[in-house]
Amino acid sequence: MPGNQARCRTRDGTTGSRDSSEGSADVEPSRWPEQDCMQLNPSFRGIAINSLLAIDISLSRRLGVCAGVHGSAAPLRSMRTRPALDLWHRPLPVEEQHAGRAGALILDLMTVAGMQKLVKRKGPWDFPPGFLDYVAMDTYSFPAAHASRAVMVSKFLLNHLVLAVPLRILLYLWAFLVGVSRVLLGKHHLSDVGCGFALGFLHFSLVESVWLDSSTCQTLISIGTLRWTPLVVYNGSIYFNKFQSHTIIKFDFSTSLISRSRQLDFAGYNNMYHYSWGGHSDIDLMVDEGGLWAVYATNQNAGNIVLSQLNPNTLQIIRSWTTNHPKRSAGEAFMICGTLYVTNGYSGGTKVYYAYSTNSSTYEYIDIPLTNKYSHLSMLDYNPRDRALYAWNNGHQVLYNNMEIR
Backbone angles phi, psi at 9, to 5 degrees: -100, 130
Out of 188, 189, 203, 246, pick the active-site residue: 188
Cα separation values, 1 from 5, 9, 17, 20, 358, Å: 6, 15, 12, 10, 120
Residues in the chain: 406
Handedness of CA 218, 223, 227, 228 (dihedral sign): positive
Closest CA to 258 of 228, 213, 291: 213
Q: Is 70 a catalytic residue?
A: no
43 burial (CB, 10 Å; 0-12 / 13-18 / 19+) is exposed
Q: Tally the C-alpha atoms within 13 A of residue 90's C-alpha that lie toward its C-beta.
A: 9
First to last CA, the chain: 118
Out of 70, 89, 146, 280, pick the active-site residue: 146
Q: Which residues contact 403 (CB under 8 A, 6 or more apart)?
A: 368, 388, 389
Closest CA to 157 of 137, 134, 178, 174: 174
Closest CA to 84 of 201, 222, 177: 177
Say if CB 116 and CB 138 are below 8 A apart.
Answer: yes
The DSSP secondary structure of 151-200, one letter per residue, reads: HHHHHHHHHHS---HHHHHHHHHHHHHHHHHHHHTTSS-HHHHHHHHHHH
- 394 vs 392: CA distance, rounded Å: 6
- 358 vs 361: CA distance, rounded Å: 5
Q: Is 203 a catalytic residue?
A: no
List the catalytic residues: 146, 188
